[in-house]
Amino acid sequence: MQPRRQKRLFAVLLVIGLLTGAVAAMLYALQQNIDLFYTPSQLVDGLGKDKVKPQPGQRLRIGGMVVKGSVKRDPDSLKVSFDLVDTGPLVTVIYEGILPDLFREGQGIVAQGVMLDATTIAATEVLAKHDEEYMPPEVAEALKGIRHVPPSQQQSSAQQSGTEAKPAEGRY
């Protein structure tokens, strides 16, 4: 290889190497801030090595799986409360408003709101999270025992034939 090209090759590789290092260091330093939400165990036990716990009154997002049987609706309003879980403790979310179509017990959700006390969040927005599995309803029924319910009929308890909520599944 010509010395001139060799010099350019090393210069370009050096620039890429240094920048990769810089970006890696930056992302590592920002690690906790890039996470979109706290999981219930992070909220209760604290986050990272220092076990930093969020304070009541803080605005935050919480993500976890809706615990089966924990959804309580107020019959006269849109008020709803439910528990979230990942692998350990439960966190209660209170919300007033319309839930997304995919919301159901056993589903992963992300809620944004204000922390009231150590295990309660008053949410202003509830988003549904879905996993990366796609399959036709018949396959889902055969494989997972989940019956397909059109989103329009989902708010009834017709979907209760599903499998047990498995907190270990997914990344919640």
Partner 1 sequence: MFNWLHPFAKPETVYHLCGRLYPWLMALAVLLLLLGNIWGLAFTPPDYQQGDSYRIIHIHVPSAIMSMGTYSAMAIAAFIALVWQVKIAQWSVLALAPVGAVYTAIALITGMAWGKPMWGTWWVWDARLTSELILLFLYLGVIALSGAFSDRQTGAKAASLLAVIGVINLPVIHFSVEWWNTLHQGASITKFAKPSIDPSMLWPLLISILAFKVLMLALLCLRLRNAILLNEQHRPWVKTLAGGH
For binding to partner 1 (CB under 8 A), which residues are involved?
5, 8-9, 12, 15-16, 19-20, 23, 27, 31, 34-37, 39, 63, 99-102, 110, 125-141, 146, 148, 150-151, 171-172
Report, in Å, the least distance between residue 15 CB and partner 1.
Answer: 7
Report, in Å, the least distance between residue 30 CB and partner 1.
Answer: 10
Backbone torsions φ then ψ of 42, nearest 5 degrees: -65, -35
Report, in Å, the least distance between residue 22 CB and partner 1.
Answer: 9
Rounded CA separation 36/63 (Å): 9
Other Cβ atoms less than 10 A from the Cβ of 100: the count is 15
Nearer to partner 1, 75 or 158 (CB): 158
In a 3-state reduction of DSSP, which class is residue 139? Answer: helix
Rounded CA separation 94/164 (Å): 23
β-pair partners for 114:
59, 122
Nearer to partner 1, 44 or 140 (CB): 140
Report, in Å, the least distance between residue 33 CB and partner 1.
Answer: 9
β-pair partners for 108:
65, 129
Q: Which residues contact 145 (CB under 8 A, 6 or more apart)?
A: 161, 162, 163
Nearer to partner 1, 48 or 76 (CB): 48
Backbone torsions φ then ψ of 49, nearest 5 degrees: -70, -35
Nearer to partner 1, 67 or 111 (CB): 111
Report, in Å, the least distance between residue 103 CB and partner 1.
Answer: 8
Nearer to partner 1, 11 or 75 (CB): 11
